[in-house]
Amino acid sequence: MSALYNRDILSLAVATAEYPPIPAARHHASARAPLCGSAIIVDIDSDADGRVARVGLHVEACALGQASAALLARHAPGRAIVDLRAARDGIAAWFAGEGDCPDWPGFDLLAPARDYPARHGAILLPFDAALVALEGVGAAA
């Protein structure tokens, strides 16, 4: 097992089971990463102020994509769409070598993936899907 798939990543990957789908959630989106084929369905309940209340997931992705989804679900409650957009943009900039590790709890565990551009889409996928869900568009490419 390489450093890319370490114990922490694998622990996060299985943590997606802690966030089962929420059929009655207010917001839903599905997304697929074109390069690797990873797929996610995200369900989000929000409060009266539009902040995330809880997240449900159905993830078909590599361990890195699953780990990213778990970090999203674990730390999104209480946050607004602008916070998720800032995190997503920070992750993309970090992958492009244009910024520091994103300001999202636990994301430092995904640092080894910076050197694997083919995995970047799977890691961004949960954030992309969450934004689509909250924007009410319904599906992301």
* Domains identified in the chain and CATH numbers: 3-135 (3.90.1010.10)
- Residue pLDDT, tens place only, 14-32: 999 999 999 999 999 999 9
- Among candidates 73, 135, 125, 129, which has minimal Cα distance to 104? 73
- Residue pLDDT, tens place only, 65-107: 999 999 999 999 999 999 999 999 999 999 999 989 888 999 9
Q: Tell me which residue has tokens 């244009």.
A: 98
- Provide the 8-state DSSP code for 133: H
Instruction: Give me the mean pLDDT over the 30-57 stretch.
Output: 93
75: its two tokens: 């730390």
- pLDDT above 80 for 7: yes
Tell me the range of 5-9, 51-55, 114-118 where mean pLDDT is highest.
51-55
Query: ∠ at Cα 109 (103, 110), nearest 5°?
Result: 85
Radius of gyration for the chain, computed over Cα atoms and rounded to the nearest angstrom: 14
Instruction: Give me the mean pLDDT over the 115-138 stretch.
Output: 90
